[in-house]
A and B are shown apart, each in its own frame.
Chain A
Amino acid sequence: MQRDIAAIWRLAAVRTAMASRWALVAAIALGVFAALLTAAGKDPLKAYLDTLVYVFGNAYGFSELVVRMIPLLLTAVAVALPTRIGLINVGGEGQLYMGAWLATAGELALSDQPAVILLPILTVLGFVGGGIWALIPGILRASRLVNETISTLLLNYVAPLIVSFFIFGPWRSPESASYPQSPAFVDAARLPIFFHSRVNAGFVYGLACLVLYWLVMTRTRWGLEMRAIAGNPEAARRLGIPVFRYVVAVMFIAGGVAGLAGMVEVSAIQGRLVSELSPGYGFIGFLVAWLAGSSARGIVLMSFLFAVISSIGDILQITQGLPFAVINILMAVILFIVLARRPHGSAAR
């Protein structure tokens, strides 16, 4: 009895220590970012307050946070899964674009189908589109030809060009005179939305992927073998674990999950394929997964945190005329602080 209480106290103390450590990191990062904004002649405090009011002031603002979390959850899983076998996937952005691209191809070909048929097909196509894009680095890595970090980064620049090629060319909607985009999706190709907000079925995809990820990693033989590969690929190979197949399959599935984020973006949010599909969700998802240490619960918490941070970026864009990309400073400073405080090697491959 007494030992139980002591254990609970210890746990509570650890939790409090962790929470206060995160609060300290956030405070330092917000302070550094505020100093930079002030130096640029902007008003950071007003931006922070505006964000708080916007995000937590009413139900709609809060629902937009959930909307923002959807692509972050998915792209974070797309990073977390490969880290479990020691791979670094920085290609979420390109995989997202290719998922959106293939889903749009499906919509254009099958737009006369009812939603019950169309939506599952588009979901699969989104997954396959992103998956194939990650398959290329996966195969190159598994054959020991090219490091997956550099190849996924390079392919990020190719995927938006493919999307642009199609919406400036064959898929260009006749109504879009100045701003090239694909024709609007039919209603049957739009993911259902909830509560008169923009929160959509993509949230279910995000949570489902996260639960599956957690189950596979903790409850299956696959998870065990993946950990073996991450620990020592050579030893795993000698134990008879098919390392090549794991590397290729894990990259395909990870890319597929990021591709789902692209499918959700075109089907639920944009309703058509556009060239500026993502303000860097793939990259933010990378930060989320890295800071979460690839744990499923951490990904949910960090997605929420980064959704709030992204909202600061929106506010800065709308009220102070700054580009959204400025928010990358805040994200980078957080990552720098965490990396600097982590003992060496814990984030290593």
Chain B
Amino acid sequence: MNATLLAGVLSSSILSGTSLLYGTLGELIGERAGIVNLGLEGIMLIGAAVGIAATALTGNPYLGIVAAALAGAAANLIFAYVVIGCRANQLAAGLSLMFFGFGVSALVGRPFVGAVIAGLPRLRIPGLGGGSAGGVGARLLEYDILICLAVPTAILMWWLLFRTRWGLGLRAVGESPSVAYAAGRRPERLQYQALGLGGVLGGIAGAHLSVALTLTWAEGMTAGRGFIAIALVIFAKWNPLWAIAGALLFGGAEGLQLQLQAAGADVSPFLMNMIPYLLTLLVLVLWRWNRQSAAPAALGRTFVGVE
């Protein structure tokens, strides 16, 4: 592999890994509070469509990102109400959220099919000389704000979960809601907060795909990244810092495939497009082989209150 290809793979693994990292963090925080959200794919689709729509309407990509984050939170709170407020089955409600996202994003995105938007601006990092280096170096050193904030967000999530009182309560709810309740926490309120924050991150994950990468809307454009992100939470052992590594690995798989296609490799694009899904399955298999699960103990259980 020559240097240009390697640089290209690195650069595009960061580009496509960013969206995965936000998505993974969004799912992770909900799961830490004991709630599995299979609807992340739907949240990301809504984020992607709303991001494009708001950017096209206002002309400001930053507003597009904010709108996507709010839309993601709103959709996730519907899910939260169904699973926390009504105590519905989480898997079924998550899949309904997925269908909801398919539909809402198709409706929102429809008027913007073929619309051209100004993408999220790339920032030059002062002192690194990205602008003057030219060529590959410039591409490697110019990132939009969401890419720059991705790793700090992961660290912030880690700090929130493991170094604050709020995070301690959240994790306690994920392990045993009734014990957390007995210790004076409010499990349901913490779960709502976790899912609201998760929706914000999921919306941003979708918006980064559409507003920063493709710059167009296409129906179903997240193409299963939401499910890959859910698998990445398992890969990351429910730890935000490990999620960084996972997102880079899977972004790398996607990046490699894009670079090989760009380099004119004689492999069918359809076969190469399978790589991320098959790699996800493989990782899930390897992770389960010889490892005690690090999953929150009450993951997927419904908290029915304390008598």
Contact = CB atoms under 8 A, between A and B. Distances in A.
Whether both chains belong to one complex is answered with: yes
A205 interface: no
A157 B270 CA distance: 11
A32 B223 CA distance: 27
Contacts of B223: 157
A40 B87 CA distance: 31
Main secondary structure of the interface of A (DSSP, over half): helix
B288 interface: yes
B87 A344 contact: yes
A321 B223 CA distance: 23
A329 interface: yes
A49 interface: no
Interface string A164-183: 11001100000000000000
Contacts of B231: 150, 154
B100 A332 contact: yes
B103 A328 contact: yes
A349 interface: yes
A328 B102 contact: yes
Contact of B89 (A283, A322, A332, A348): A348
A145 B106 contact: no
A154 B270 contact: no
Interface string B83-124: 001111101110111011011101110100000000000000
Most B CB atoms within 10 A — which of A37, A88, A325?
A325
A145 B103 contact: no
B107 A347 contact: no
A286 B95 contact: yes
A183 B13 CA distance: 39
Contacts of B194: none
Contact of A149 (B91, B104, B228): B91
Given A154-B227, A154-B281, A157-B277, A325 B102 contact: yes
Interface string A121-164: 00000000000000000001000111001110111111001101
Interface in A320-335: 321-323, 325-333, 335
A35 to B, nearest CB: 12
Nearest to A344: B87
Most B CB atoms within 10 A — which of A149, A280, A322, A349?
A149
A158 B273 CA distance: 8
A14 B82 CA distance: 26
B106 A347 contact: no
A150 B230 contact: yes
B137 to A, nearest CB: 35
Contact of A164 (B91, B270, B284): B270
A335 B92 contact: yes
B93 A336 contact: yes
A59 interface: no
Contacts of A150: 227, 230-231, 284
A333 B219 CA distance: 20
B227 A339 contact: no
B136 interface: no
Interface string A284-314: 0011001000000000000000000000000
A165 B103 contact: no
A315 to B, nearest CB: 15
A290 B104 contact: no
Contacts of A332: 96-97, 99-100, 102-103
Given A36-B107, A325-B102, A162 B270 contact: yes
Nearest to A37: B107
Contacts of B38: 149, 153
A329 B103 contact: yes
A328 B110 contact: no
A169 to B, nearest CB: 6
Interface in B224-252: 224, 227-228, 230-231
A344 B227 contact: no
B227 A145 contact: no
B131 interface: no
Contact of B227 (A153, A165, A286, A335): A153
A70 B223 CA distance: 27
B271 interface: yes
Contact of A151 (B87, B271, B281): B281
A115 B64 CA distance: 57
B100 A329 contact: yes
Contacts of A155: 277, 281
Contacts of A168: 268, 270
B106 A323 contact: yes
A156 B102 CA distance: 15
A345 B302 contact: yes
A342 interface: yes
B146 to A, nearest CB: 24
A24 B278 CA distance: 43
Nearest to B97: A332
A340 interface: yes
Interface of A: 36-37, 40, 88, 90, 140, 144-146, 149-151, 153-158, 161-162, 164-165, 168-169, 280, 283, 286-287, 290, 321-323, 325-333, 335-336, 339-342, 344-345, 347-349
Given A145-B288, A153-B38, 4 more contacts: A154-B224, A326-B103, A335-B92, A339-B96
12 contacts: A140-B285, A149-B38, A323-B106, A325-B106, A326-B110, A328-B100, A332-B99, A335-B99, A336-B82, A344-B302, A345-B302, A347-B88
Interface of B: 38, 78, 81-82, 85-89, 91-93, 95-97, 99-100, 102-104, 106-108, 110, 219-220, 223-224, 227-228, 230-231, 268, 270-271, 273-274, 277-278, 280-281, 284-285, 288-289, 302, 304
